Amino acid sequence: MVRRGLDYVQVPTTLLAQVDSSVGGKTAIDSSHGKNLVGAFHQPALVIADTALLDTLPAREFRAGYAEVAKYGLLGDAAFFAWLEANWQEVFAGGPAREHAIAVSCRMKAAIVGRDERETGERALLNLGHTFGHAFEAAAGFSGRLLHGEAIALGMVLAFAFSAQRGLLPQGEAERAASPPCSGRPADACFLGSGRHARRRSSDGPHCPGQEGQARQADLHPGARDRRKLHCARRRRRRGPRLLVEKLAER
């Protein structure tokens, strides 16, 4: 980020990096004010993704990255999502299925970035689940308590639930997206307390799915911005919010 004028090569070593952060040219870092707020767009000269490196990842890290793979099916490729539903075990095991999932994900992101590099329109759809997810990460202090992919998996579940609530898609589709084998969301997600609100400094509404696997950005009326109405918080404001975060296994 400091030497943004130099050519550089990305060598992603996690599933999340191979299918998402290494593609697109975003070089931002987090700050105390929010996620990815300090940085610039600068495309790498080359991306080298060695899928064999993924065999060295802890199961939790791989699972978190799989959430971004599922995102590509959820935001605009219903056939790919159906393929993931049938083949997710093979993707986790490695081999041709994993390579196929990574290739499809990279092609989809590269195509979107090619049409909208600076995120003035279509590229914003890649933020599916991120409005909720970034709030969870902020509540966890951008720490290893909650990995980015875990936050996005939970954020996508909420985005689908929110869309179903607004009548943008059937409830059954929201439940399908929330299935752990499909979304990468672990089955032991639970409510954990947090001492403060986590807010994203943006006027954008959440990026939510509609019919036939097509995502869109929702227009929120003022009342819907209240976490109680979005069901992100279940407790009364005077007692402090309870945010949906990942129940992490003891390490």
Q: Give catalytic residues, as residue numbers.
A: 4, 26, 68, 109, 119, 123, 127, 130, 134, 148
Beta-ladder partners of 208: 216
Residues recorded for the chain: 251
Report the alpha-carbon distance of residue 152 to residue 132 in Å, rounded. 8
Say if CB 76 and CB 126 are below 8 A apart.
no
Report the alpha-carbon distance of residue 224 to residue 221 in Å, rounded. 5
Burial class (CB in 10 A: 0-12, 13-18, 19+), 91: buried
Beta-ladder partners of 102: none
Tokens coding 131: 């409005």
Beta-ladder partners of 38: 29
Alpha helices (runs of H) in the chain, residue ranges in sequence order? 15-16, 59-76, 78-93, 96-115, 130-139, 148-165, 171-177, 180-183, 227-230
Report the alpha-carbon distance of residue 58 to residue 125 in Å, rounded. 29
Report the alpha-carbon distance of residue 52 to residue 49 in Å, rounded. 9
